Each structure stands twice: as C-alpha cells, then as structure tokens.
C-alpha cells in the first residue's frame, strides 16, 4: 500500500555501496556502481534532479547519499545530479508536476503506477531501460505495474513484496498448535484464531481497519478468495467492490468477530499499531506485507523466536496474492538526454545491489553491522533463478530466523501476483475502511448493503478518473 522507508538501513546500504564504488579500478566496467554502461549520451552536458535525499536531521544517511551522488558524477562527468528531499505524496504530486518542482526521477508505490501512466504523468523510458544488461530479466508480474497495455516501460521496479500471514509461534504453542504447520485454508485460519484466543485471552486474529489499511487488507483477502475490486484496464475500468470474494472475506471477519469472539477488542488498528500489538504478544495472526519483519525488529523490538510467516491460503479459480513495492519513474517532460541520465542514475543507485555480487555483499555487510535485518523474504524483481543467486551471495550473513519463514519463501513464487486496484486505489481503500469497521463493530451489519453503497461511491470516483 505504501513505501516503507527504514533510514538507518538505507544509510548503511548507501555507505556500503560508496565503498564499493571507491574501490573500483579505472579498468573495471562496474566501478561506477552500475552495470558497465558508458558515461552518458555522448558529451552532452545534462542536469537532473533526484528524489529522496534524507533530511539534514538524518546526517549520516544524508552524507552517504551525497557521497553516492559524487561517485555517480565522477563516473558520468557529463551528468550533474541535484538531490531533492522530495518524497512521494499523491495529494501534491499533480501540482508539483505542473509547477515544475517535481524531481526528474522520483519513487512511488506500485499502487499509483497505472494511474500515472494513464494520465501521461510519466516519461516513456522503454528505449533507455532496454539498454540495461538485465532488461530482459525482470519478473513479468512485477514489471507490468510499470508498463502500459502495449508493454512500454514507464518506470523501474526496485523493491517488491507479497502479502503474507504473520503469526506468533509462542501463541501457537500455548494453544496446542504446531508453529511449523501454519494454516493452509481460511477455515483453518478461523480455527487457529479461535484456539489462540481461548488459550491466551488475546486476539487470535486481528484486522487493520483505518487510515486506508482496512481496505488494503480487505482487498488482499478478496484476491485470496478469487475476487477483484476493479475490472478492466486503461480507460475502461469498472469498480466491482460488491463481488463474491469480498462478501466471503467480510463474512469470515464477521464469523471470527461475532460467532467466535477471537479478534480481541481493538477494531481500529492501522499498520503501525497492529505491528506494535503483534510484537507485544497481543495478536496471534494478521495479514501484512512480507517485509514487515524488518519493521517489527527495528521499530517494535520483536523477539525473533516468536515470529512466523507463511503464505496466504488461496481459494477460488482466480485467487492470487496482492503484491506491492516501490518503482522509480521519470518526469513526462524530461528530454532524451535527461531520460538517459535518469535511467543511468536508477541503475547506479537502486539496481546495482540486486545485480552485482560485490555490491550485494557490501550492502549486506553494512546492514548486519548496524543490526538491521538481512534475509527477510521478498518477491524477486527479476526471476527466481536470479533471486536464488543473489540469496546465495549473502547467505552467510543472513541474521533473520529464515527457517521460521520458509513456508512463505518456499511457496510465494508459486502464487499468482495480482497488483493493487489500478484506479483510485487509495480512495477505494478509504471507502472500504468504513465497511470493515462496520462489520467489526455492528453485529447486525448488512454486508450486501455496505458493499452496494461503497461500490456506488467508488464507481463515481473511478469514472471521474
């Protein structure tokens, strides 16, 4: 749903990659930290601005970022980089684009990719991306969030996650459940939640419900049950919130809340508060992105021995797992020289640790040195073979309880990845927050009526574009 930023880890990674570049020789085609491309388009001088410069309050991270800028400029003497503290904000993006204050390159979440493409708010960088040595290696289901219907490329995916089921192994044991055998059906999720609540007095299963997270997780459940919140592509998208998968998802929540009483007494969780409750042993299971463990460690001090991660049960002919992540795009008014320079920056700054062993090792060593988690399962930006290779590069440095996450890691690549709703996703999520809250707080909530109203409201937004 949103881009997660862990500045301490980023600082370590950036500083590590700074060392990699500094150690490269003049004869090393990868000494520029990228993938051996030449310095630019001929000798034409070009200046681009880039996003996500850490603020002055994060001095180490900022200095490391600026060091990377210097390394890039040294390797590409015809390109000048102007760093910007800009971070993605969907509410101000259009005004900044129109006002000329948007950086040349900028990060944004998967959620907004298709909308930006449809509105012509990203540059077509197909030609530039196809010059990269790994252009044909992208995971198709990940790359498609940055492509139009014709396959043209408008951004580069740099990080991806799939949704999973997080569970507390200690609470499983207290309930007489085997933590190495997590639930594989939604009926089992319900049964396990009931057993955990009965044994511990805590929430066996918890659900986010505010700040757009209720709609996000309800969409995840809908996908896992074969439904979709929107149908169609491009300009022909229809809201379908009142589908059978969503009804089943809400009925499951209703049963756990009102028939089983297995969901505790907090029905206003969001991303931060549910993580806090889970780390404190107050929640047995919940749904979230596969990368959540990193935040649970750095922000919530979870006991690693209690953590488990598995894939979501998929039931239904068209069931899939919701995926998200971060992509980096280029302003639509960028010149050819600016597009070329921008893609070189993306390759250098974001992709080298995914495609080069030396950069991957330096990144991993720096993360471990700062006690940041290394090895949490994620979706591959490239194919499964490349993921296995990059995992092998850093295997000796992994510091997360990976054996407790293997049910996810070993099965996630077999689950179809479904992107978030292509049009007005955040508005759709906000509308569904109220639906989730109603089901969790009103025993007599009319699910069909709630979905009919929500679908009418979102349909108007989708039609407006």
**Tens digit of each residue's pLDDT (9 = 90 or more) over 145-174:** 899 989 999 999 999 999 999 999 999 999
Same domain, yes or no, for 247 and 361?
no
Query: What is the tens place of the pLDDT at every residue in 232-247?
Result: 877 789 999 999 999 9
Question: Up-side HSE of residue 9: CA atoms within 13 Å toward CB?
Answer: 16
Residues 304 and 197 reside in one and the same domain: yes
Which domain covers residue 43, as residue numbers? 7-158+330-397
Please say which residue of 363, 397, 431 terminates a domain.
397
Does the residue 250 lie in any domain? yes
pLDDT at 429 over 60: yes
Same domain, 231 and 142: no
CATH code of 363's domain: 3.40.190.10
pTM higher than 0.85:
no
In a domain, 316, yes or no: yes
Cβ atoms of residues 253 and 432 within 8 Å: no
More confident residue, 141 or 421: 421
- The Cα–Cα gap between 461 and 465 comes to 6
- Percent of the residues in the chain that have a pLDDT greater than 90, as a whole number: 70
User: What pLDDT score was predicted for residue 40?
Assistant: 47
Taking the C-alpha atoms of residue 283 and residue 300, their distance in angstroms, rounded to an integer, is 14
Domain end marker among 397, 429, 455 = 397
pLDDT band, residue 194 (cuts 50/70/90): very high
Query: What integer pLDDT is reported at residue 16 of this predicted model?
Result: 52
316 and 451 share one domain = yes
The predicted-structure confidence for 349-401, as pLDDT tens digits, reads as follows 999 989 999 989 988 888 888 888 999 998 889 988 888 899 999 999 999 99
Q: Which of 38, 117, 136 is nearest to 327 (CA)?
A: 117
Domain membership of residue 62 (yes or no) is yes
In a domain, 1, yes or no: no
11, 76: one domain: yes
pLDDT: which is higher, 314 or 426: 314
DSSP codes joined into one string, 321-363: EEEEEEEEEE-TT--HHHHHHHHHHHIIIIIHHHH-HHHHHHH
Q: Give percent of the chain above pLDDT 70.
A: 91
Q: How far is CA 219 from the centre of its chain?
A: 15
pLDDT at 28 over 50: no
Does 61 score more than 90 pLDDT?
no
Is the confidence at residue 37, as pLDDT, over 70?
Answer: no
pLDDT at residue 189 greater than cutoff 70: yes
| Beta carbons of 368 and 150 less than 8 angstroms apart | no
pLDDT at 5: 38
- In the listed set 362, 397, 432, which residue is the last one of a domain according to the structure? 397
Range in 1-5, 91-95, 178-182, 202-206 the model is least confident about: 1-5
Say if 275 falls within a structural domain: yes
State yes or no: pLDDT of 264 exceeds 70. Answer: yes
pLDDT for position 89: 85
Of 80-94, 259-273, 371-385, the range with the highest mean pLDDT is: 259-273
Q: Are residues 151 and 185 in the same domain?
A: no
pLDDT for 21 beyond 70: no
Q: Mean pLDDT in the chain? A: 90
Residues 166 and 280 in one domain: yes
Degrees to nearest 5, angle at CA 130 with 126 and 133: 155
User: Same domain for 408 and 369?
Assistant: no
Is 55 part of a structural domain of the chain? Answer: yes
Pair 124, 245 in one domain = no
In a domain, 2, yes or no: no
**Residue 10 reports pLDDT greater than 80:** no
Domain shared by 257 and 335, yes or no: no
Q: What is the pLDDT of residue 11?
A: 47
pLDDT tens for 96-150 read 988 989 999 999 988 888 889 988 999 999 999 999 999 999 988 889 989 998 9
Q: Is residue 376 part of a domain?
A: yes
Tens-digit pLDDT profile for residues 297-321: 999 999 999 999 999 999 999 999 9
Task: Please tell me the total count of domains within the chain.
Answer: 2
Is residue 215 located within the same domain as residue 293?
A: yes
Q: What is the pLDDT of residue 25?
A: 37
Q: How many helices (H) and strands (E) does the chain have?
A: 19, 10
Q: Measure the CA–CA gap between 192 and 198, rounded to whole angstroms.
A: 10
SS3 content of the chain, % helix, strand, coil (to 5): 50, 15, 40
Q: In terms of domains, do 130 and 236 share one? A: no
Least confident of 155-164, 257-266, 420-429, 453-462: 420-429
Confidence of residue 74 (pLDDT cuts 50, 70, 90): very high
């Amino acid at each position: 749903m949103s881009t997660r930023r862990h500045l301490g880890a980023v600082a370590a990674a950036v500083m590590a990659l700074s060392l990699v570049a500094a150690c490269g020789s003049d004869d090393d085609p990868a000494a520029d930290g990228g993938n051996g491309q030449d310095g630019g388009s001929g000798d034409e001088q070009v200046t681009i601005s880039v996003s996500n410069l850490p603020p002055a309050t994060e001095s180490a991270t900022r200095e490391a970022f600026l060091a990377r800028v210097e390394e890039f400029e040294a390797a590409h003497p015809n390109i000048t980089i102007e760093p910007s503290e800009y971070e993605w904000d969907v509410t101000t993006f259009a005004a900044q684009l129109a006002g000329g204050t948007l950086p040349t390159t900028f990060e944004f979440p998967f959620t907004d990719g298709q909308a930006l493409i449809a509105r012509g708010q990203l540059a077509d960088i197909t030609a530039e991306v196809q010059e990269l040595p790994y252009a044909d290696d992208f995971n198709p289901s990940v790359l498609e969030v940055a492509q139009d219907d014709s396959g043209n490329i408008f951004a580069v995916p740099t990080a991806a996650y799939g949704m999973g089921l997080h569970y507390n192994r200690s609470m499983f044991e207290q309930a007489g459940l085997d933590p190495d055998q997590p639930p594989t059906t939604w009926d089992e999720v319900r049964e396990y939640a009931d057993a955990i609540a009965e044994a511990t007095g805590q929430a066996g299963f918890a659900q986010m419900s505010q700040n757009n997270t209720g709609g996000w997780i309800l969409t995840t459940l809908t996908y896992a049950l074969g439904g979709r919140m929107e149908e169609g592509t491009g300009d022909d998208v229809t809201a379908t919130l009142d589908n059978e998968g969503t009804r089943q998802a809400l009925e499951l929540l209703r049963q756990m809340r009102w028939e089983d009483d297995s969901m505790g007494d907090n029905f206003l969780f969001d991303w931060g508060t549910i993580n806090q409750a889970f780390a404190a042993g107050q929640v047995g299971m919940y749904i979230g992105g596969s990368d959540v463990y990193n935040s649970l460690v750095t922000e919530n001090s979870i006991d690693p021995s209690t953590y488990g991660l598995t894939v979501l049960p998929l039931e239904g002919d068209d069931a899939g797992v919701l995926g998200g992540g971060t992509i980096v795009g280029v302003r639509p008014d960028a010149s050819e020289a600016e597009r070329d320079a921008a893609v070189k920056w993306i390759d250098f700054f974001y992709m080298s640790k995914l495609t080069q062993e030396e950069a991957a090792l330096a990144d991993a060593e720096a993360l471990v040195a700062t006690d940041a988690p290394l090895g949490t399962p994620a979706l591959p930006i490239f194919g499964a073979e490349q993921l296995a290779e990059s995992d092998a590069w850093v295997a000796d440095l992994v510091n997360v309880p990976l054996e407790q996450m293997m049910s996810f890691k070993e099965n996630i690549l077999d689950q179809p990845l479904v992107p978030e709703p292509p049009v007005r996703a955040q508005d759709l999520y906000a509308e569904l927050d109220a639906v989730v809250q109603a089901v969790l707080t009103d025993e007599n909530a009319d699910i069909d009526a709630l979905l009919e109203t929500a679908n009418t409201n979102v349909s108007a937004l989708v039609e407006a574009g």
